[in-house]
Amino acid sequence: MALIMFLTAVAVLLTGFPVAFTLAGVALLFALGGTLTGAFDSHYLSAMPSRLFGVMTNETLVAVPLFVFMGVMLERSRLAEELLETLSQLMGRVRGGLAMAVTVVGMLLAASTGIVGATVITMGLLSLPVMLKRGYSPSITTGTICAAGTLGQIIPPSIVLVLLGDVLSSAYQQAQISQGIFSPDTVSVGDLFAGALLPGLLLVGLYLGWLVILAVLRPADMPPHDDRDSRAGAAQLLRALLPPLLLILAVLGSILGGLATPTEAAGVGAMGATLLAGMRGQLNVDCLRAVAGRTATVTSMVFMILVGASLFSLVFRGYGGDELVRGFLSDLPGGTFGAVVAVMIVMFLLGFVLDFIEITFVVVPIVGPVLLAMGVDPVWLGVMIAINLQTSFLTPPFGFALFYLRGVAPASVRTSDIYRGVAPFVLIQLLALALLGLWPELATWLPERIYG
């Protein structure tokens, strides 16, 4: 019944029905049917109020609306536009330099906002017409923009890492209690931020390396552009780079330095983004109303999904779903390694049809305690999941980043161009995932050095 319930939820989601109501509705229907037939103990539902109260009083989750506010406000401040313009002037003289500038801007926006959809759309609106006008191949152009836009999945302060940190913390405690450890260790969002930093920079380096190779192999598709009248000077470069770098230092530096929790740092980031918008003359009542409205919409969606997922996981466990998953993963050949590979494959495939929020709140609470009880490092697992979800964002034909870019791309850019363009970056993502799997120290070294 647990398996049928999970497949039913996926099938309803594929019809386009809202996620939060799908999860809650399917759970209630199966709970009602199971109660009437005697297959489900309705007392499981009595734990729901305490779960909701736990969500309401969870200080970590306060970081979500604050980071969303920061990202939306930075969109309004035209930070991305000035960054892209300045770096393209600086690097455009090099063959392939404009594509590299887009990647660097994507990295800086990821470290400033952490919102994937907004970054892809912003980069598409700003850089797509410029790159096409300067003679770049449509496939290289769209692939670079999609890949750079999804860096917000893995580079802190990522909303994905905030949500994963909260879910994995609970899963880690469950795993230890099931092993008889009643004073469990904890894993925090700060641990995940530190763990994701080096893999995120590695991914940026792999992207830039691929663009250099493309510039050598296909020079006609990535022409240089030398406009002597629009070269960026040192003052202009400093004016464009200093604000985002200071904001990144304030947010990430305070977390990694132990000066602030992620929630406190998110508050600093939200205020910093507001000050930046004010300094650029973009801050007014209409701007604040629009930013607050967008923040409320996104935050409401996240928390409604969290409520629906909590109910879903409760009923799933009532049908013995956790035991089913534990038995399945334990019986796989290859032991812990085989179980991790199987979970990564399932999450990659689910990423075609489910959003990262749904996977985080539905799948991770089911498989997380099992894998962590098998001895998997929670920080390494969280970073692996984040990179995996980022890969599914890019993978044709259902990658969400592809739909975001398709929505703002001109009709002259074909969908097949977008698919061809992202294919090499999907392989790069899988390479990064494999490297992280072979060398877990890429994710665990920095948290150990910072937090001991």
Among 286, 261, 311, 238, residue whose Cα is nearest residue 52: 311
Q: How confident is the model at residue 200 (pLDDT cuts 50, 70, 90)?
A: very high
Does residue 229 surpass a pLDDT of 60? no
**Could you tell me the two tokens for 357?**
């929020």
Q: Is the pLDDT of residue 18 over 70?
A: yes
pLDDT, tens only, 411-425: 888 888 888 999 999
Average confidence (pLDDT) over 217-242: 72
pTM of the model as a whole: 0.83
pLDDT tens-digit series, residues 331-346: 788 788 888 998 898 8
Instruction: Identify the pLDDT of residue 429.
Output: 92
- Res 122: pLDDT: 75
Burial (CB < 10 A; 0-12, 13-18, 19+), residue 36, is: exposed
HEC sequence for the chain: CHHHHHHHHHHHHHCCCCHHHHHHHHHHHHHHHHHHHCCCCHHHHHHHHHHHHHHHCCHHHHHHHHHHHHHHHHHHCCHHHHHHHHHHHHHCCCCCHHHHHHHHHHHHHHHHCCCHHHHHHHHHHHHHHHHHHCCCCHHHHHHHHHHHHHHHHCCCCCHHHHHHHHHHHHHHHHHHHHCCCCCCCCCCHHHHHHHHHHHHHHHHHHHHHHHHHHHHHCHHHCCCCCCHHHCCCHHHHHHHHHHHHHHHHHHHHHHHCCCCCHHHHHHHHHHHHHHHHHHCCCCCHHHHHHHHHHHHHHHHHHHHHHHHHHHHHHHHHHCCHHHHHHHHHHCCCCHHHHHHHHHHHHHHHHCCCCCHHHHHHHHHHHHHHHHHHCCCCHHHHHHHHHHHHHHHHHCCCCCHHHHHHHHHCCCCCCHHHHHHHHHHHHHHHHHHHHHHHHCCHHHHHHHHHHHC
Q: Which residue has the higher pLDDT, 43 or 285?
A: 285
Q: How confident is the model at residue 233 (pLDDT cuts 50, 70, 90)?
A: low
Q: What is the pLDDT of residue 231?
A: 57
pLDDT at residue 427 greater than cutoff 90:
yes
pLDDT at 159 over 70: yes
Using pLDDT thresholds of 50, 70 and 90, give the confidence band for residue 358.
Answer: confident
pLDDT reported for residue 227: 58
Q: How confident is the model at residue 157 (pLDDT cuts 50, 70, 90)?
A: confident
For residue 377, pLDDT over 70 is answered with yes
